[in-house]
């Protein structure tokens, strides 16, 4: 079941990038954490580049990137009409120009299906449907598990990327084998950057990038540590400075 629309009373308007962005999100359903913000910060886009966000949801990653880098040509594709409409509304709210297409990624409409971008990014659902308990909210369920294999996401992203362009994904660490296999099958110059919550902790998330027609060898980077200290200090913010600069000041997060 797809979410068709959200009444205003079902939405919250949340601050991102230290208040540089205000974005509507559903109070119940899929809500963005830091994952799409970090994803957007890694994309090496320059003014004038075209960027496609596959499964853009309410537009968090796409609009974070647009707020950081002026003059981009922003495109988003989203299966659920309600979330696609939120992405359009959020772009207007923040005076950003973005073309948001409501579509199944397997059958993107023209002109998007005929275009190639300098950069494609995606924050695909983290869980395989067969290996998890379904969420009660249909929008959250689609956001968590979706309907496509990771291999499909990567294949579609690679098709929409111009030679020399980048494809960047954020994903759960447990899906690393699937994502790595797909990236190496369709892209070159693949890089893996694990994200660990604290020193000595296993990574929970990964950032992975490939380049269309890239020829460099695979690179595994040391983990990016998200938080300072060994434990959560109550309600105090405890992101390490590089991460705080992304979340609060719209900083970039280039791959090492």
The yes-or-no verdict on residue 152 having pLDDT over 90 is yes
pLDDT of residue 128: 67
CA dihedral 215, 220, 226, 229 (to 10 degrees): -160
| Cβ 66 vs Cβ 74: under 8 Å | yes
pLDDT of residue 136: 53
pLDDT band at 1 (very low <50, low <70, confident <90, very high): low
The yes-or-no verdict on residue 80 having pLDDT over 90 is yes
pLDDT band at 144 (very low <50, low <70, confident <90, very high): very low
The yes-or-no verdict on residue 133 having pLDDT over 70 is no
pLDDT of residue 140: 45
Q: What b/e sequence results for 216-229 when a residue is b if at least 16 CB atoms lie within 10 Å of its CB, and e otherwise?
A: eeeeeeebbbbbee
The token pair at 60 is 């968090």
pLDDT of residue 181: 98
Question: Average model confidence (pLDDT) for the chain?
Answer: 92
| Percent residues over pLDDT 70 in the chain | 90
Q: Bridge partners of 70?
A: none
Q: What is the DSSP letter of 119?
A: E
pLDDT of residue 235: 62
Coil/strand/helix, residue 193: strand
Domains of the chain: 8-166+175-184 (3.40.50.150)
pLDDT tens digits for range 219-240: 999 999 999 987 766 666 789 9
In the chain the beta strands, taken as DSSP E runs, fall at: 11-16, 21-26, 50-54, 73-78, 98-102, 117-122, 161-172, 188-196, 205-211, 219-220, 224-225
CA distances from 41 to 14, 32, 139, 209 (A): 19, 15, 25, 13
pLDDT band at 27 (very low <50, low <70, confident <90, very high): very high
pLDDT band at 3 (very low <50, low <70, confident <90, very high): confident
pLDDT band at 29 (very low <50, low <70, confident <90, very high): confident
The yes-or-no verdict on residue 131 having pLDDT over 90 is no
Q: Give phi and psi for 25, each to the nearest 5.
A: -140, 155
The residue to which tokens 């979330």 are assigned:
83
The yes-or-no verdict on residue 84 having pLDDT over 90 is yes
The yes-or-no verdict on residue 245 having pLDDT over 60 is yes
The yes-or-no verdict on residue 139 having pLDDT over 90 is no
Average pLDDT score over residue span 157-177: 98
The yes-or-no verdict on residue 196 having pLDDT over 70 is yes
């Amino acid at each position: 079941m797809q979410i068709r629309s959200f009444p205003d009373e079902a939405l919250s308007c949340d601050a991102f990038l230290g208040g540089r962005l205000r974005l509507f999100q559903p109070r119940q359903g899929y809500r963005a954490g830091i994952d799409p913000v970090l994803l957007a910060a890694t994309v090496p886009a320059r003014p004038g580049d075209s960027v496609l966000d596959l499964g853009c949801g309410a537009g968090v990653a796409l609009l974070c990137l647009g707020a950081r880098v002026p003059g981009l040509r922003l495109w988003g594709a989203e299966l659920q009409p309600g979330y696609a409409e939120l992405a359009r509304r959020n772009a207007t709210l923040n005076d950003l120009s973005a073309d948001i297409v409501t579509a199944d990624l397997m059958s993107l409409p023209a002109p998007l299906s005929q275009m190639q971008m300098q950069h494609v990014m995606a924050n695909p659902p983290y869980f395989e449907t067969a290996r998890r308990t379904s969420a009660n909210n249909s929008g959250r369920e689609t956001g968590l598990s979706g309907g496509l294999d990771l291999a499909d996401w990567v294949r579609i992203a690679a098709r929409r990327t111009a030679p020399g362009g980048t494809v960047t994904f954020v994903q759960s660490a447990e899906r690393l084998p699937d994502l790595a296999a797909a990236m190496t099958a369709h892209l070159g110059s693949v890089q893996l950057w694990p994200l660990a919550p604290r020193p000595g902790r296993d990574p929970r998330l990964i950032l992975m990038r490939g380049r269309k027609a890239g020829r460099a060898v695979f690179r595994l980077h040391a983990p990016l540590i998200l938080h300072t200290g060994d434990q959560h200090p109550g309600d105090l913010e405890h992101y390490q400075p590089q991460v705080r600069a992304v979340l609060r000041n719209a900083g970039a997060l280039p791959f090492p």
